[in-house]
Structure 1
Amino acid sequence: MPISKNQILEFLKKSIYRPVKIKELAREMKISPAEYHSFRRQVKDLISEGHLIKLKKNRLGLPDKLSLKIGKLAATKGGFGFVIPDDGSGDIYIHSENMGTAMNGDKVKVRVLSRRNGKSPQGTIIEVLERAKSIIIGTLKKTKYFGFVEPDDPKITRDIYIPPESFNSAQVGQKVVVEIESWSDPHLSPEGKIIEVIGFPEEKGIDILTIIKEFQLPLDFPPAVIREVEKSDPAITPAEIKNRKDFRKLNCFTIDPINAKDHDDAVSIQKLKNGNWLLGVHIADVSFYVKENSALDKEALARGTSVYLVDRVIPMLPEKLSNEICSLKPEQERLTYSCLMELDENCQVVNYQIQESVIESKAKLTYEEVQAFFDSGKSTTQLRGLEEDLAKMLELSQKLLKKREAQGSLDFDLPEALVILDASGNILDINQAARLDSHRLIEEFMLLANKTVALHVTRLAMPFLYRVHAKPDPEKLKAFSELVSQLGYKTSLGEKVTPRLLQRFLKQVEDKPEEPLINELLLRSLKKAVYQPENIGHFGLAFSHYTHFTSPIRRYPDLIVHRLLKELKKGQYTPERYHFLMKRLPRIGEIASDREKIAEEAERATIKLKQVQYMQDKLGEVFEGVISGVVPYGFFVRLQKLMVEGLVRLSSIDDDYYIYDESGYRVVGKHTKKGYRLGDKVSVKVIRVDKEQHQLDFVLADNFKKRKK
C-alpha cells in the first residue's frame, strides 16, 4: 500500500531532528524503488500544501521546527494584517513593514519573530506561496509621467503601476481589470497590465459589472458547452419512461419565488389507508443531461453554483437546461429523481423510496399566493384542486418543524434585505424579506429529503458527498458568551456545547430588539457548513446525516449526489470507481465549498452597493438603528428597516471625550460616563455617502440637534 502524507509527517516529527533531502528521507523510511515515484509525489504535495518547507540545497523541514508557519493573510485597510495558520494555531500579527509583497487572501510563509505582551505573536512574511487573486479591479489614474490603477479593494493598499504600452486603450477614470505581471521588491509598487476595460463608473450597469469582475464570475459559457447543450433533446422517449417510476398522474406542483424560472423541486402528498403520510419530493434529473467529464460537466463544476445577484442570476447551467429542459414547468413531462417518504403520526420516516421518475407538474405556485391561501382560506384559479393537498402539507410541515426544534436544530431567522429595482436597474425601495409559512413548508420537506438520502447512502458504506457542519470552536463560543454577557444575557457555553444548549439561549433573546444582532453574532461564531466525503454530521441542524439532493439545477454537489445514487442502485460501485471517488470527491467538495463562499460574498456586495446608492438622496434624513459594531474610532449603526450600515465617528460626538472599551464592546465618555454599547438603539442622521467605497457616515441625531442650537 502506498505511503500516506500523514505517515511522512509523523515520521519527520518523531524520527528525524534535522532537515533532510528527499532521497535521504526515502532511505530512512525504507521506501522501495517501486514506491519511490508515489512517495516523491506525496512529498511535493506536502510542500505545496505548506506542511513541509523546502530549504537551501533542497532540504526538507517541518515549519514548526523552523519557527515558520504557512497560512492565509487577512489584510486590513490600515496596511497591517494577520496570518491565519493552516495548522489551526493562533493568528500571527504582521506589521505593515513586514508584509513584503503579499496581498489580502494570499497563501504565505511567515517567520514568527516574537510574542507581544498578552497579544498574538508577531511575524514577517518571507514568501508568497500562492496568490489569492491573479487580477485586480480598480480605477485608472495618471500623473505627468506614468499611469497607475487604484484598487477598489481597500485592503490592497498599494497602487498598481501601469506602463504606457500596457494601457490597452483604457481612459483615465475608467474601471479596469489589471493583471499583475511582477512584484519582487516590497519597496516598489507592483507592475501590471490592463487586460480589460469595464467602463466609466457612472455608465449604466457598470456598478454591478465591476463586482462581477471583482469576484471573477463567468458571464458567458464556452462555445464547447453551448454546442453540447444545443444537442440536448427535450423530448422524453417511451423507452426512457418505461425505465422510470411514472408519477405523471400524481398531484405534484412547484412553489417558488414569483420571478423564478429554474424550478428544480416539486412536492406531492397523500394520506395512506394506515393513517400515515406519503410525502413526495421530486427533483429535476439534471444528471440525465449533464454527463460526467463532458464540457458541460466541467463548466458546472468550475462554477459550482448559480449566483443570485441583486439584478440578475448567473446560472451554473445554460438557460436552455436550467430554465427550460430541466425546469419542472407545469403541464410538461419532466425527468426527475423522486424521494418518497412514508411518515407516521410522530413524523418518523418508516419507509422510503429513492428512484428515477417522470412527473408532470400540475401548477406553478408562488410563496405569496400559497401564503395568502393559508392566511385567508380563500382559493384562486391557480390553486384550484390543490387546496386539500396544501392544507395537508401545512399541517405536516409544522409538525416536522416542531420535531426538528425539539431535537435541538438551530433556526437563525435573520432578516434579509429585499432590494426592489426597476427595469433599468435603478433602486426603488428596500424592504425586509418576509419569512412565510409557505417558505418553511418547502424548507422542511427539502431538509427531510436531504436527510433521508444521506441516511440511505450511509447504510451502504460507500463514498459519497455530504453536507457537514463541524462542532464550534470552544474559544469562539467563549468570546461570544463574554460578548452577550455585556448585553445582559447569561449563558454557559463550555467545552461540550450542543445545538440544544444554543437553542435554549436563542429562546432567551426571541422577540427582543437585539435578537437579529445576537443571532448574527452567534452565526459568525459557528463554523461554516461545507461539502466533504467524510460524514461528521451537521451541528446546526442537529442531524447525524445530511447531504444536498434537492437543487441540482443550481448546485453542483446535488448533481453529483444524483449521479452517485444512480450508480448505487445495485448497492455498490465497481472497485475502480470506488478508488476513483475516494480520490476525487474531496476535491469536488473543496471546489463546491469555495464557490459557494464566493457566490455569497458577491451577492452581499451587490446588495450593499444598491443599499448605498439608495441612501444618496437621503442626506440629512434621520433613521432609527442599532449599534452593530464598536471600533476604536467609533461605532457602526445598522438601520432597522433598510439594513444598511454606516459609521458614527467618535470625533463627531462633541459632548465629551469618548474612550474605546474593548472588553465592554462600547465607548464611554471620559467625564460624563455616558456610553454607547453594542446592541443599543440610536437615532442617526446621514451626513455622507461614498459611492466609490460603498460607505456611509452618520452622526447621532441628538448630538446634531445640540450643535444646531
Structure 2
Amino acid sequence: MHINAAYIIDFLAYKAGRPLKLKELAKELGIAEKDYSSFRSTVKQLLAEGRLVKLRRSRLGVPSELNLVVGRITISKGGSGIVLSDSGQQIVIAPTHTLTALDGDKVMVRVSGEVEGEIHGKVIKVLERAERNIVGIFRSGEHFDFIVPDNKKIHRDIHIAPGLSKKARDGERVIAKITQWDDPYRIPDGEIVEKIGMPGDPGTDLLTVIKSFNLPEEFPRRVSDEAMQAAEYFTPEELNRRRDFTGESIYTIDPVDARDHDDAIAVEKTGRGYRLGVHIADVSFFVRENTILDKEAFERGNSIYLPGMVIPMLPEKLSNDLCSLKPHRKRLVYSTIMNFDDNGKMNDYEIVEGIICSKAKLNYEQVQNFFDTGRADEAIGKVADGLEPARELARILFKRRMAEGSLDFDLPEAIISVDEKGEITSISNRVRLESHRLIEEFMLAANRAVALHVFRLGQKFLYRVHDKPDKEKVEAFSYLVSTLGYHFPASDNMKPIQFARFLERLKGKPEEEFLNELMLRSMKKAVYQPQNIGHFGLAFSHYTHFTSPIRRYPDLMVHRLLKKLKHGRYSDKLNKQLATVLVNVGRHCSETERTAEAAEREAIKIKQVAYMAKRIGQEYQGVISGILNFGFFVRLGDTGAEGMVRLSTLDDDYYKHDEKHFRLVGRRTGRTFRLGDPVLVGIQSVDKIRNEINLFLIESTGKEIPAKQKKRKK
C-alpha cells in the first residue's frame, strides 16, 4: 500500500486530531508490515523538510497545528531576520533568536506573539543550509586561524582547523564552507575550499563577486556542444515559411561595444500615421524546450553584466552569432508590426515569425550625432530615411506615456571602462540620449502589444507585473520629502500619475537624483508571474517581456507561448500544466534577476573603491545621500561612488542626529547637514577589504537653524 506524503500530513492535521508516535500513525493508516520501511522513509523525509516535526516522547506533529512556521530566513546586516512562510506569513526574528541560522537557510520558527502589528518568533531548528560560497579574509591568529566573511549578513567569524587552510596567506581572500555549527554560543567550524588572491590583485575583484553570489561561470561541455549543433536547424524550408522582411530598411541601435544584438527596428510614415516594426531574435527556434541547453538557460535566468565582463545566459555561438541580428546576414526573428495614428494610439498590430537582413549596425552616440547635426556617415546613410520618422514616433509615444502617468526615473548609471587587465581607465555616468529613449519607447510598445494580444485571448501567460506600493512606505517617503519642503500626500489608492507629477516637480533640483532613488525604493519590485495585475510604474494594464530573449529567459518563454498560441497547441491540458510551470518560472527568474542586480551593484562598488584608492586627497563635488548618527554619506559627482564623512572628523561642533527631520545639527552653531545638501569633500582613505570610502569635509552649504527652532535648555 502506497501512502503519499500529503495524505500523511492531512491525516495528522485533520483526522488524528493529535500528535502520534510513528507506529501509532502506521497503525491508524493501516500500513502493512511489508510497506513499513517505505512509510518510515517517507516520514523521515517529511521531518527533514520541516513538513512534520518530532515532539517529546517521539510524537509526530504538523508544524502549522503547533504554532510553528517553516520558511527561508533573510537576515539583515544588523542581525535581525525575516522568515516568509509558504502561505505568505512574515515573522520577525530578533538577532538573539536566530539560533545558528544564516541568510537564506530553511528554518523552523515558533511564533511567540504580535508586537505593534508585527508577528515575532524564534528559530528552533535549521532544517536546510542554503547553498552558498562564504567569501572572506583569512586571518592567521596566535591561537587559531579564522575567516572574516565579506558578507555583512554573516555575523560570525569561521574557525578554520589546522590542515584545512589550503596554505592561505594572512589577509588573503578565500572561499570557505561551514562544516559544523550546532551551538549558537560558539563560532562555526569550516574549511577553505578555494583561494581567490590578495585584495587588490588584478582579477580578484570580479572573481570575488562571482564566488560571493554563486554566479555561473563556464558552460558545461554538453551545453556548448548542443549550441554548436543548433546551426543545423537553420534550413531553406524554415526561411520559406516565414514572412520575408529582408527588403525593408531595418537596423539595430545598441551600445558601441555590444556583441549581442537581439532587437532591430524599422519605422515609416504612412497616410494614417506611423508603421513600427520591432524585430526580435527568434531564440526559441534554436533553444528547444527541455533540452540541456534550455535547462542551463533557465538555471541562469538572465545574462549578468559586470564591468568589463559578461556572464551570458546562452553560449557565445548563439548569443553573438546565430541569434545576433548582425548586419547583412539573414536572421530569424519574431516580429511585432504596429500601426499608430499621429497621436501615438495603436490602431492595430500583427505578431509574426519572420526573416530579416539588417541594413546597418548603429550605436546610440552615432544616431544622436545624426539627430543633433543632420550629418550622416556611411552606416547612417543606408537607413537615414527611416530615422527621422522613428524620432518623431518615439517623441509622440513618450509624450503619450507620460500623460498616462508612466514614471520616468532618470537615475544615473555608472559606466566603468577597464583595460585588458581589468584595471579601471575611467568612471562616468551614462548620459541618457534621445537615441536611448527611442529604443526604450519601441521596446515598451512591442512588449505592451504582445501582453495585450495574449490577455485578450484569455490564455495562461507570463506577465511582467509591478504592484502598487504599500501605503506605509509611501507615507514614509511623503514624510521625508516634507522635511525638504515638498508636499506629496499619501493615500490608500494612489495612482501612477501622482508619482509622475512629483517627479516632474523635481526636474533640475539639486535633490532630484536622490529623491528619484528614494521614491523608487519606496515601491515594490517588478516580478514575473502568470497573474496579470498590471504594471504600476509604467501605468500599463498589460505588460510582458518579449524583446530580449538572448539575455532574459522570461522573454524566451514568452516567444514559446506565442508560438503555441499561433499554431494551436494550447489545450486544457497545457493550460493546467502552465498554471504550475509559469509560477515556478516567474519566481525563479525574478530571483535570478535580483541576484544579478545585487552582483552588478557590488562589482561596480568594488571598482569605484579601487578607482578612489588612487585618488587620495583629491576633491569632489557631491550631494549628501544618507544621514546616520555617526556621520553622513555623500554621492560623489559623476563617479556615482558613495563615501562617508564621519562626525569624528568634524571639529567645529558637536552634532546631534535629528532623526525626525533627517539631518545633523550642530549643538553650538546650529549648522546643519541634511539630505540633498551639496558639499565639497576630499578622499581621506579607502578600505578595499570592507569596500568603504572615507571622506573629509572641505565645504558645505550647511546653514544655521534660526534661533526659534533651537531647543532651549530649561
Q: Does 1:73 align with 2:70?
A: no
Aligned CA distance change for structure 1 residues 524 and 687 (closer, same or farther; 3 Å): same
Q: How does 1:594-613 map to 2 (within 5 A)?
A: 594-613=591-610
Match of 1:201 among 179, 199, 202: 199
Q: How does 1:243-322 map to 2 (within 5 A)?
A: 243-272=241-270, 274-322=271-319
Partner of 1:166, secondary structure, is coil
Match of 2:62 among 46, 52, 60: 60
CA contact (8 A) 2:549 2:555 kept: yes
Mapped to 1, the partners of 2:328 and 2:52 lie a distance apart of 59
After TM superposition, give the deviation of residue 543 of structure 1 in Å. Answer: 0.6
Q: Does 1:464 align with 2:465?
A: no
Mapped to 2, the partners of 1:648 and 1:517 lie a distance apart of 18
After TM superposition, give the deviation of residue 678 of structure 1 in Å. Answer: 1.4
Determine the structure 2 residue equivalent to 1:181. Answer: 179
Mapped to 2, the partners of 1:526 and 1:195 lie a distance apart of 40
Match of 2:158 among 145, 157, 160: 160
After TM superposition, give the deviation of residue 405 of structure 1 in Å. Answer: 0.6
Determine the structure 2 residue equivalent to 1:104. Answer: 103
Mapped to 2, the partners of 1:483 and 1:19 lie a distance apart of 51
Mapped to 1, the partners of 2:393 and 2:289 lie a distance apart of 37
Aligned CA distance change for structure 1 residues 399 and 130 (closer, same or farther; 3 Å): farther
Q: Which amino acid aligns with 2:67?
A: L
Mapped to 1, the partners of 2:233 and 2:437 lie a distance apart of 34
Deviation string 1:122-165 (CA, Å, 9 cap, x unpaired) is 65332234434432011222235543222112332212122234
CA contact (8 A) 1:109 1:128 kept: yes
Q: Which amino acid aligns with 2:92?
A: I
Partner of 1:383, secondary structure, is helix
Aligned CA distance change for structure 1 residues 235 and 460 (closer, same or farther; 3 Å): closer
Deviates more, 1:443-452 or 1:617-626: 617-626
CA contact (8 A) 1:407 1:542 kept: yes
After TM superposition, give the deviation of residue 111 of structure 1 in Å. Answer: 4.0
Mapped to 1, the partners of 2:598 and 2:456 lie a distance apart of 36
After TM superposition, give the deviation of residue 291 of structure 1 in Å. Answer: 0.7
Determine the structure 1 residue equivalent to 2:141. Answer: 143
Question: How high is the TM-score relative to the length of structure 1?
Answer: 0.89
Aligned CA distance change for structure 1 residues 683 and 59 (closer, same or farther; 3 Å): same
Determine the structure 2 residue equivalent to 1:92. Answer: 92
Deviates more, 1:48-57 or 1:320-329: 48-57
Mapped to 2, the partners of 1:510 and 1:17 lie a distance apart of 65
Q: Which amino acid aligns with 1:604?
A: R
Match of 1:622 among 595, 619, 623: 619
Determine the structure 2 residue equivalent to 1:34. Answer: none
Deviates more, 1:256-265 or 1:204-213: 204-213
Where does structure 2 lack aligned partners over 5 or more consecutive residues? Answer: 29-39, 701-714
Partner of 1:553, secondary structure, is coil
Aligned CA distance change for structure 1 residues 296 and 440 (closer, same or farther; 3 Å): same
Question: How high is the TM-score relative to the length of structure 2?
Answer: 0.89
Mapped to 1, the partners of 2:355 and 2:165 lie a distance apart of 55
Determine the structure 1 residue equivalent to 2:538. Answer: 541
Deviation string 1:419-469 (CA, Å, 9 cap, x unpaired) is 122232211221110101100000000000000001111111111111000
Where does structure 1 lack aligned partners over 5 or more consecutive residues? Answer: 29-39, 704-709
Q: Does 1:83 align with 2:82?
A: yes
Match of 2:498 among 497, 501, 504: 501
After TM superposition, give the deviation of residue 46 of structure 1 in Å. Answer: 11
Aligned CA distance change for structure 1 residues 222 and 529 (closer, same or farther; 3 Å): same
Mapped to 2, the partners of 1:291 and 1:139 lie a distance apart of 43
Match of 1:225 among 223, 226, 231: 223
Mapped to 2, the partners of 1:481 and 1:503 lie a distance apart of 14
Q: Which amino acid aligns with 1:226?
A: S
After TM superposition, give the deviation of residue 114 of structure 1 in Å. Answer: 6.6
Q: Does 1:434 align with 2:435?
A: no
Aligned CA distance change for structure 1 residues 47 and 558 (closer, same or farther; 3 Å): farther
Match of 1:388 among 360, 385, 390: 385
Aligned CA distance change for structure 1 residues 249 and 535 (closer, same or farther; 3 Å): same
Q: CA RMSD in A?
A: 3.1
Q: Which amino acid aligns with 1:104?
A: D
Partner of 2:612, secondary structure, is helix
Mapped to 1, the partners of 2:275 and 2:588 lie a distance apart of 36
After TM superposition, give the deviation of residue 201 of structure 1 in Å. Answer: 2.7
Q: Does 1:346 align with 2:339?
A: no
After TM superposition, give the deviation of residue 25 of structure 1 in Å. Answer: 12
Mapped to 2, the partners of 1:630 and 1:110 lie a distance apart of 34
State, as a whole percentage, how many aligned pairs show the same letter.
Answer: 48
Q: Which amino acid aligns with 1:58?
A: L
After TM superposition, give the deviation of residue 702 of structure 1 in Å. Answer: 4.2
After TM superposition, give the deviation of residue 203 of structure 1 in Å. Answer: 2.9
Q: Does 1:582 align with 2:579?
A: yes
Mapped to 2, the partners of 1:215 and 1:469 lie a distance apart of 25
Aligned CA distance change for structure 1 residues 20 and 533 (closer, same or farther; 3 Å): farther
CA contact (8 A) 1:21 1:60 kept: no
Mapped to 2, the partners of 1:141 and 1:178 lie a distance apart of 13
Determine the structure 2 residue equivalent to 1:332. Answer: 329
Mapped to 2, the partners of 1:583 and 1:634 lie a distance apart of 49
CA contact (8 A) 1:431 1:641 kept: yes
Deviates more, 1:83-92 or 1:581-590: 83-92
Mapped to 1, the partners of 2:561 and 2:108 lie a distance apart of 39
Aligned CA distance change for structure 1 residues 514 and 223 (closer, same or farther; 3 Å): same
Determine the structure 1 residue equivalent to 2:704. Answer: none
Mapped to 2, the partners of 1:548 and 1:429 lie a distance apart of 33
Mapped to 1, the partners of 2:117 and 2:246 lie a distance apart of 65
Mapped to 2, the partners of 1:391 and 1:380 lie a distance apart of 15
Mapped to 1, the partners of 2:539 and 2:105 lie a distance apart of 34
Aligned CA distance change for structure 1 residues 345 and 125 (closer, same or farther; 3 Å): same
Partner of 2:683, secondary structure, is strand
Determine the structure 1 residue equivalent to 2:31. Answer: none
Partner of 2:231, secondary structure, is coil
After TM superposition, give the deviation of residue 332 of structure 1 in Å. Answer: 0.3
CA contact (8 A) 1:22 1:59 kept: no
Query: How many aligned positions are there?
Result: 680
Q: Which amino acid aligns with 1:60?
A: V
Aligned CA distance change for structure 1 residues 560 and 673 (closer, same or farther; 3 Å): same
After TM superposition, give the deviation of residue 202 of structure 1 in Å. Answer: 3.8
Deviation string 1:197-228 (CA, Å, 9 cap, x unpaired) is 22233432111111111111111001110121
